[in-house]
């Protein structure tokens, strides 16, 4: 299905977003910062990007997906279930979880932990990836910052 790409920058203000409790997990809350529909408007392949918060003693219970997941811890201390073993990590660490791999994240600190979880479709025969390109624009816009 083809979707029309938007040419307008969409802004999601944290002040306007609410933490939604995720069912079937322990003290796991999320804010969806990119939905599948928003990804369609951007013309990209993406299932979802979640800003997640685990309460003290919270846990994303063991599970697996039909997509790859990239989890970047932004606050707190957590344990990751990987290969049947638990490992300790903290803010700044990132996990790349292939589709079909059982995993879990548990908050082990005394404050809530937070993470960005990126869910990416897995497809056969995907073209090779490359780092993005950037085109700089003349200094016309920088005067507005002064």
- Domain annotation for the chain: domains and CATH numbers: 22-123 (2.60.120.10)
Q: How far apart are the first and last CA of the chain?
A: 44
Tell me the C-alpha distance between 4 and 77, whole Å: 41
Q: Which among 122, 117, 114, 31 has a CA at the least distance from the CA of 69?
A: 117
* pLDDT tens for each residue of 39-76: 999 999 999 999 999 999 999 999 999 999 999 999 99
Task: Kindly report the pTM of this predicted structure.
Answer: 0.88
Q: What is residue 8's predicted lDDT score, i.e. its pLDDT?
A: 87
């Amino acid at each position: 299905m083809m979707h029309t790409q938007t040419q307008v920058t969409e802004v999601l203000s944290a002040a306007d977003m609410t933490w939604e409790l995720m069912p079937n997990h322990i003290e796991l809350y999320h804010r969806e910062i990119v939905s599948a529909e928003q990804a369609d408007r951007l013309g990209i392949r993406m299932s979802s990007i979640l800003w997640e918060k685990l309460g003290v003693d919270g846990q994303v219970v063991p599970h697996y997906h039909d997509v790859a997941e990239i989890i970047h811890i932004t606050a707190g201390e957590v344990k990751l279930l990987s290969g049947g073993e638990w490992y300790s990590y903290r803010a700044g660490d990132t996990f790349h979880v292939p589709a079909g791999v059982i995993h879990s994240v548990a908050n082990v600190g005394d404050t809530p932990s937070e993470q960005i979880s990126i869910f990416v479709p897995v497809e056969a025969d995907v073209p090779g990836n490359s780092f993005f390109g950037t085109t700089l624009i003349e200094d016309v816009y920088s005067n507005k910052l002064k």
